[in-house]
Amino acid sequence: MSTLQANASPSKRLFLEMFVRDLSLEDCILDLVDNSIDSLVRSRNIKVSDALLPAEGVGRNGGGGRLAIIDVRYEPGKFRIWDNCGGISVKDAMEEVFRFGHSDNAVLGQLGVYGIGLKRAIFKIGKDITIESKTSVEGFSVHIAVEEWAKQESWTVPLTVTAGTGNVENAGTSITVKSFREEVAARLRSGTFEGHLSEMIARTYSLFLNRYVAVVLNGRKIQPKLVNFGFSKDVNVGKEELTEGNVKVTIYAGLAARREGEWQAAEAGWYVACNGRLVVAEDKTELTGWGMGMPLFVPKYRGFVGLVFFYSPNPLELPWTTTKRGLNQESFVFQRVKTRMAAIGRPVLSFLNEMYSSEEKERGPQRGVAEGVEALDVREMASRPQAPFRISAIPVGGDIVRVQYDAKWDELERVRKSLRKSRMPASKVGRYAFDYYLRKECPQ
């Protein structure tokens, strides 16, 4: 009996067609931004866990340094992302950057997890790819004509070594993609695409923007959209810390700050960040415990906001998915944290339950508490001690409850006729009936 060796080598066509099928164009571009930020973290030796939720120094550009720039531009037939975030070494380009997956000895970045983001992104966008990168001491350039490269059996990519910039300030990377896929060209022509991408960048990198890096999209600088916590002398934000192996977790839960006297239902829910990158935003589903350890999300909970911050020097231990737009629910650390999320969020929901005597009407004392909170920069909360959410005082103002009921139109008219007030609003008719009953049946 003989033993044969079956061919199990991968097909390039499989990678080029199936590998990118389930990835949105927005996710592709975010993957490229991830690579730029990883270069920045590496070149400036930024400690992500300390830098993004600092005990002090909020608002400074990483200890007073300049903001790095990531510039994203697209036009018919051409997409380009450029940065001055430090560049890629020739060694990394030769051994890691173009590999599908990391080698066993790879030094992982903070946001680049699986070693597939760059390749998946550029192959998704188009078929003519040019990459140029320079550190202060060396550089390289690569050109890939995808159709021709796909015909070759070899998986290698031709790389030309070039000179460096001579200084750190100008070191960085440029990626240009032409000859778009048809579906990509259609998305880029869409009138809504730029606004949607801008919103995603503002939210996803909110902890990095204007502190270490500025992202510019088609000439417009994107402002961070931070998680909207509220704080006052009477209201704190609940906080709990825990560690699972190499993963450090911080959970925050509290009331959102109001805008124009109202909570924004669209912004309520749980937010989850892994190494500073937001992977879940405004979640109100079972994914983050709603309807399981927590009650189902209903409108009266629109004042709730929670943030979970996962950090690990090894990003493979974090509970994010390959698209970094979701959570791996089988992750042991996430299962444990999900239980604690419900516990730290429960006092906030209890307050909101007490605040609403009905879905429509807010009770006066609780409303006073809610209107007293002011927006709190989420990055300031790291210096605050662990504590449960609490309200230290409920303003004195009576316990007001809304009473409402339905009545037939002809019955309402009969009361108006009896009172000789044909234009009396229905609400006042109801109040009159209630007062009449109190006087006649419940005299004090």
Is 398 a member of any domain? no
Determine if the pTM surpasses 0.85: no
165 and 311 share a domain?
A: no
Our count of domains for the chain comes to 3
172 and 237 share a domain?
A: no
Is 120 a member of any domain? yes
What order do you get walking across the sheet with 277-283 strand by strand? 238-244, 247-255, 304-311, 269-274, 277-283
158 and 251 share a domain?
A: no
Is 5 a member of any domain? no
How far does the chain reach from its first CA to its final CA, in angstroms? Answer: 103
What is the helix (H) or strand (E) element at residue 297, kind and residue range? none
CATH number of the domain that 244 lies in?
Answer: 3.30.230
CATH number of the domain that 168 lies in?
Answer: 3.30.565.10
352 and 414 share a domain?
A: no
pLDDT at 59: 46
pLDDT at 10: 67
Is 86 a member of any domain? yes
For residue 158, the enclosing domain spans 12-221
Is 427 a member of any domain? yes
318 and 433 share a domain?
A: no
Among 160, 189, 221, the domain-final residue is 221
Which tokens go with 412? 């309402």
59 alpha carbon, distance to own chain's centre: 20
177 and 246 share a domain?
A: no
What is the helix (H) or strand (E) element at residue 281, kind and residue range? strand 277-283
98 and 233 share a domain?
A: no
Is 403 a member of any domain? no
217 and 241 share a domain?
A: no
pLDDT at 108: 58
pLDDT at 410: 83
209 and 233 share a domain?
A: no
pLDDT, averaged in runs of 10, over the chain (444 residues): 72 69 86 91 80 49 70 95 94 80 58 65 89 94 90 85 90 94 92 94 92 95 92 91 92 90 90 93 94 92 94 88 82 92 94 77 79 83 85 61 73 86 80 82 76
- Residue 429: CB atoms within 10 A of its CB come to 18
What is the helix (H) or strand (E) element at residue 8, kind and residue range? none
pLDDT at 174: 96
Is 338 a member of any domain? yes
**CA–CA dist 405, 288 (Å, integer):** 36
Is 396 a member of any domain? no
Contacts of 21 (CB under 8 A, 6+ apart): none
214 and 247 share a domain?
A: no
The amino acid sitting at 264 is Q
**CA–CA dist 49, 46 (Å, integer):** 9
Which tokens go with 21? 């099928």
200 and 124 share a domain?
A: yes
pLDDT at 64: 47
**Long-range CB pairs of 62-71, under 8 A, 24+ apart, other chains included:** 62/211, 62/212, 66/169, 67/210, 67/212, 67/213, 67/214, 68/36, 68/40, 68/212, 68/213, 68/214, 69/213, 69/214, 69/216, 70/33, 70/36, 70/37, 70/213, 70/214, 70/215, 70/216, 71/215, 71/216
Contact 28, 193 (CB under 8 A): no
For CA atoms 198, 23, 119, 316, the dihedral sign is positive
pLDDT at 4: 78
What is the helix (H) or strand (E) element at residue 162, kind and residue range? strand 159-163
208 and 355 share a domain?
A: no
